[in-house]
Structure formats: C-alpha cells, structure tokens
Amino acid sequence: MAEKEAAGAQRLLIDLGATTARFALQRPGGAPEQVVRMPVAEQPGLAAAIRTYLAETGARPAAGAFAVASAITGDRVALTNHPWSFSTAETKAQFGFQHLSVINDFTAIALALPRLGPEDVVKLGGGPGRSGAPLAVLGPGTGLGASGLLPTPSGWIAISGEGGHVTLPAIEPREEEIIHALRRRFGHVSAERAVSGQGLVNLYSALTELTGAAAPPDLAPADITDRALGGADPIAEETLDRFCALLGTVAGNLTLTLGALGGCFIAGGIAPKIQRFLAGSRFRARFEEKGRFRDYLAPIPTWLVVRRTPAFLGLAHLMDRELGGAVTEFQELSGRS
C-alpha cells in the first residue's frame, strides 16, 4: 500500500557530491523542479541538509532517490572524498519516505544518457555511433566517476562500479615520471589521483617537483585551470594538457572494456569549464591511441555533457520505473552527427 501511495506522490531527488549537494523535487513523469545547490561544507550532515531544503521549499515528499559519490555496498553509505555518511534505512524512517533508492552518482548519470537532447551535449570527435549499443560515461569532478549503460531485451541496465579507481596507466616517459612521483606520495596511483579536481593539484605538484620548483601553497583546482587558460604559467599549461590526455586514455580504456560502440560521454563539473581547451587537446587522440584497436575506436563518438545536473534525469527515470507512472521517452543521440 505504501509503495502505491508513493507512486503518485512528490519525490525528493538529491545529487550528493563531495563538494556540492543538489536538491530537486519531482512529480511522476515530470521534470525535476525547485533545484537548489548547497555547499556540503555548510551543513553538518545529510539529514541537516535535507531539513534545510524541505524547510525552504515547504515540500513533504513521500519518496526519494539519492545519487551519491560513493560505492553503494550496503545500508551505510560513506562519501569517498568527504566525511559525510548516512544509513539508508535510518534516513528513510527519519523523513517518513515510503520508498527510498540510493545509487552511485554516475549510475544515475548513466541512466540519464539516452534522455539527453542535442542541446545537452557537445561532440568531441568520432562518428555517429551505433544505435542500441552500450554507452560509457565518466567524468572528473571532486573525484572521478565512471559507469556504463548496457542494452537488454527489457531495457537499459546501468552499471554500478568504481572505474575511477582503476590503476592509472602511463603512455609516455613523462607520464611514467609523474606517476612515479605520485606513487611515492600515495602508493597506489588510481586514475582519480590525476583525473579529478584534486588530481589537477596532484599533477601540478608532481610537475613542479620534477622541474625542481616549489608549488605555490594552497593552490585550488580552479587556480590551476585559470593559470593554464591564461597562458602565464607553463607548469599549469602542462598540467591541463596532461589532464586532458590522461582523461582520453582512461575514457578509451572504459569504452574498450564495455564495448561502448554507441559512444562515450564525459560528464562531471570540470570538463564543461575547459570545453575549448579540451576540444583542442590530445583528449581525442589519446582516446583512439590503442594500437591494433585504433580503428575500432575511431568511429565511436565522444560527447561532452554540458547539461547541469544530468543525474536528476537518471533519478527521475529511476523513480518512474520503480514506482510506476508516465516514463519520459528516451531520446537517441546515436546516429546524429
């Protein structure tokens, strides 16, 4: 009975990252509305942030769907790059939700991919892609998220994984030196250690170490991109160049692994801010640089997701699918140039 009541009720959608929490409300079959961004540092925990949002909107949702930058392995959910943690069962009971789904943030973005329109993406090379084939998605933000969407006879299935934590590969001698410097600091050097917001800082620090210089203290990711785009800091320029090249390598690896002939999407908060630099970088060349499988990758399109909070589209679809209601028809980017 509770599930049937929740089917027609208002839902709370949350896209919870390590830096920013985004909130929205949704009615069955409808688009997310009343979107609010809230810095995570301003709230002591998720429950307090939810109470703040509900007080501001006056909403009383009966169900919820959360996309969290974390591995979802049980009831207790802990953000990978922030101290926040919460219990799914306790949160459901605390706010009187009749239904609550918690999934990885890039699983939610993967669910959104076929619903993106032409205005939501910018093409970064490749051909039209194969209609109905698997899709890959990854994106640097505070961390590095990754997922994929697989077609089945009963519809699309999103992957829940932690592909951002695969071991970072080196393609060039300079990258071997960078990874060696990072290994002295971190031990295992994952893709996220270089291809993320903190990764920009890590790359800059490693490059300054290799050149014998001293990195400025308290340098933020935005400072590095600003310096690189301004052309006044050669180390920042190399940092951003390496960042884009490594992003291409990791994207190509994910696309090969999934057989994502439908396309690879780059999401997250950083890539749209460096769109012009990314388009002119070695990203696409490194995406295709896979030896004997260069011809396999060459026709596969790469798309930059420029839509704000695409995870909400995935969460809205998840709610409509789990609770019933009018599910928005998927669009198909494959086949468009």
Averaged pLDDT for residues 61-67: 96
Q: What is the mean pLDDT of the chain?
A: 92
Residue 335, pLDDT above cutoff 90 = no
The answer to whether the CB of 26 falls within 8 A of the CB of 15 is no
CA distance 226 to 31: 34
Q: What is the pLDDT of residue 138?
A: 97
- Residues paired with 144 in a beta bridge: 140
Residue 329, pLDDT above cutoff 70 = no
CA distance 2 to 118: 38
Confidence of residue 212 (pLDDT cuts 50, 70, 90): confident
CA distance 259 to 220: 36
CA distance 282 to 289: 10
Averaged pLDDT for residues 278-287: 98
Confidence of residue 2 (pLDDT cuts 50, 70, 90): low
Length, in residues, of the chain: 337
The residue behind tokens 């620090």 is 205
Query: What percent of the chain is predicted at pLDDT more than 70?
Result: 94
The answer to whether the CB of 151 falls within 8 A of the CB of 133 is yes
Q: What is the pLDDT of residue 4?
A: 53
Alpha carbon distances (Å) from 69 to 27, 82, 108, 238, 255:
24, 9, 10, 28, 21
Q: What is the 3-state secondary structure (H, E, C) of the chain?
A: CHHHHHHCCCEEEEEECCCEEEEEEECCCCCCEEEEEEEHHHCCCHHHHHHHHHHHHCCCCCEEEEEECCCCCCCEEECCCCCCEEEHHHHHHHCCCCEEEEEEHHHHHHHHHHHCCHHHEEECCCCCCCCCCCEEEEEECCCEEEEEEEEECCEEEECCCCHHHCECCCCCHHHHHHHHHHHHHHCCCEHHHCCCHHHHHHHHHHHHHHHCCCCCCCCCHHHHHHHHHHCCCHHHHHHHHHHHHHHHHHHHHHHHHHCCCCEEEECCCCHHHHHHHHHCCCHHHHHHCCHHHHHHHCCCCEEEECCCCCHHHHHHHHHHHHHCCCCCCCCCCCCCC
pTM of the model: 0.92
pLDDT tens for each residue of 219-269: 899 999 999 999 989 999 999 999 999 999 999 999 999 999 999 999 999
Structure tokens that stand for 114 in this block: 């076929």
The answer to whether the CB of 18 falls within 8 A of the CB of 69 is yes
Q: What is the pLDDT of residue 9?
A: 82
Q: How far apart are the first and last CA of the chain?
A: 47
Q: What is the pLDDT of residue 7?
A: 59
Could you give all domains of the chain from N- to C-terminal order, each with its CATH number?
2-111+309-323 (3.30.420.40), 117-306 (3.40.367.20)
